[in-house]
Amino acid sequence: MWGVCGTLQVVPTQFQIMRHFLSTVDWNRDDLQALLDQAAELRQHRVTDQLKGRTIALLFLNPSLRTRSSFEIGAFQLGAHAVVLEPGKAAWGIEFEPGVVMDGDAEEHIAEVAGVLSRYCDAIGLRAFPLFKDWSSDRQDKVIRSLAAHASVPVINMETIVHPCQELALMRTIQDHLGQPDGKKFVLTWTWHPRPLNTAVANSALMIASKFGMNVTLLVPHDDYLLDEQFMDAAYANADASGGSLDISTDIESSYQGANFVYAKSWGALPLYGRPEEEARLREPFRHFMVDGKKMAMTDNALFSHCLPLRRNIKATDEVMDADYCVAQDEAENRLHVQKALMLELMGP
Ligand code: CP
């Protein structure tokens, strides 16, 4: 029998409890720190055979540069093999809803996909962005949950409405440059973008910085850009537990002042989810939230980062992206090391 505890699904196997990596909500700080420490070790010893003969399937419903390459290369460096599948392109389209009459485009159901891949592989990764129509549905993260419900091997979230692998890379990068994160000021600033984007990285940045004791400021141009209450509540609870804090601000100057780390991301306003033209009108006056040298000069010699991809001179200026304080490529590199640590944890002996 499968046990379900909150968002953590555990499957008793013959010798141990199987664990998914769907969200860091389900992982405590010590367990995450162990992954971060392992990632630092793996950075020093890149090629090993610790996962020799093992396999991971990577299901991409959306495009990727960093996630796909870092998982594929990471698996190779550990002696494992990664199979990349793009359902709806070079693999059959998948139906995720239970109990439907499958007379649409999808050729097979997640029940069979998860079951078959569990016979072949030691883990399954999935990228499934929300559909940008109905937030009340998308906020339930049903696609990855249905995969986890049908799989009998660990499932890794490669970005849905959260991006937990990016969280690990961000925190590895913060610790590489700032040491202990506790008490450091972390500013998550919204930035303008030509279209409303996923809230996943913003949700994740908020949760990991608060979990690791940082004093977090969420800088938004308007209340409609606050994040879903499940993530705001998780961040407040994290801050209570870690001794950190979470403040919300619409004031650029006071937010940047004293910052140790500035993290930029663009996302759409949830009250206007699925209504992109209205959302664009709300967003239009806020292009000045772009991160530039003048704003960074207000900080306490802060580092700057972004998950990438990033449109230069839209989200951050060339000056910021080319500055010594920009650690976005360090964070991208750390995707490789933290995901190797994660694969070792979930797929290892
Ligand atoms: N940051 C990130 O996930 O990059 P990709 O979308 O290129 O995978």
pLDDT in tens, 245-297: 999 999 999 999 999 999 999 999 999 999 999 999 999 999 999 999 999 99
For the chain, the average pLDDT equals: 95
Q: CB-based contacts of 183: which residues, under 8 Å, 6+ apart?
A: 213, 214, 215, 243, 244
User: Which ligand 1 atom is at minimum distance from the Cα of 63?
Assistant: 6
Q: Are 256 and 264 in contact (CB under 8 A)?
A: no
User: Which ligand 1 atom is at minimum distance from the Cα of 65?
Assistant: 7
User: Which ligand 1 atom is at minimum distance from the Cα of 165?
Assistant: 3
pLDDT confidence of residue 17: 67
160 CA to centre of own chain = 8
Work out the number of other CB atoms within 10 angstroms of the CB of residue 121. 22
pLDDT confidence of residue 16: 53
Q: Which residues line ligand 1 (CB under 6 A)?
A: 64-67, 159, 166, 307-309
pLDDT confidence of residue 13: 45
Half-sphere exposure of 57 (CA within 13 A, CB side): 23
CB contact burial 91-119 (16+ within 10 A = b; e otherwise)? beebbbeeeeeeeeebeebbbebbeebbe
pLDDT in tens, 181-219: 999 999 999 999 999 999 999 999 999 999 999 999 999
Q: Give me ligand 1 centre to Cα 346, in Å.
A: 21
User: Which ligand 1 atom is at minimum distance from the Cα of 201?
Assistant: 1
Q: Give me ligand 1 centre to Cα 66, in Å.
A: 5
Closest CA to 241 of 23, 29, 13, 5: 29
pLDDT confidence of residue 108: 97
pLDDT confidence of residue 7: 40
Q: Are 45 and 64 in contact (CB under 8 A)?
A: no
Q: Give me ligand 1 centre to Cα 198, in Å.
A: 12
Three-state SS for 303? strand
Residue ranges and CATH numbers for the domains of the chain are 13-162+336-347 (3.40.50.1370), 165-332 (3.40.50.1370)
Work out the number of other CB atoms within 10 angstroms of the CB of residue 190. 24
What is the residue with the minimal CA distance to atom 6 of ligand 1? Answer: 64
pLDDT confidence of residue 8: 43
User: Which ligand 1 atom is at minimum distance from the Cα of 158?
Assistant: 3
Beta strand 123-127 with 55-60 is parallel
Q: Are 210 and 235 in contact (CB under 8 A)?
A: yes
In angstroms, what CA-CA distances link 105 with 84, 92, 144, 160, 314?
A: 21, 9, 19, 21, 37
What is the residue with the minimal CA distance to atom 3 of ligand 1? Answer: 67
Residues of the chain with pLDDT under 70: 1-17
Q: CB-based contacts of 288: which residues, under 8 Å, 6+ apart?
A: 252
Q: Give me ligand 1 centre to Cα 187, in Å.
A: 21
Q: Give me ligand 1 centre to Cα 275, in Å.
A: 25
Half-sphere exposure of 36 (CA within 13 A, CB side): 26
What is the residue with the minimal CA distance to atom 4 of ligand 1? Answer: 66
Q: Give me ligand 1 centre to Cα 63, in Å.
A: 8
Query: 335, 338, 339: which to mutate for ligand 1, most atoms within 8 A of CB?
Result: 335
pTM of the shown model: 0.95
User: Which ligand 1 atom is at minimum distance from the Cα of 159?
Assistant: 3
Q: Give me ligand 1 centre to Cα 174, in Å.
A: 18
Q: Give me ligand 1 centre to Cα 181, in Å.
A: 24
Which residues partner with 303 through β-bridges?
Answer: 261
In angstroms, what CA-CA distances link 88 with 58, 125, 150?
A: 14, 16, 20
pLDDT confidence of residue 199: 98
CB contact burial 271-286 (16+ within 10 A = b; e otherwise)? ebbebeeebeebbeeb
Closest CA to 170 of 346, 20, 339, 328: 328
Q: CB-based contacts of 334: which residues, under 8 Å, 6+ apart?
A: 39, 168, 169, 170, 172, 173, 176
**Angle, in degrees to the nearest 10, between helices 29-44 and 328-347:** 110
pLDDT confidence of residue 10: 46
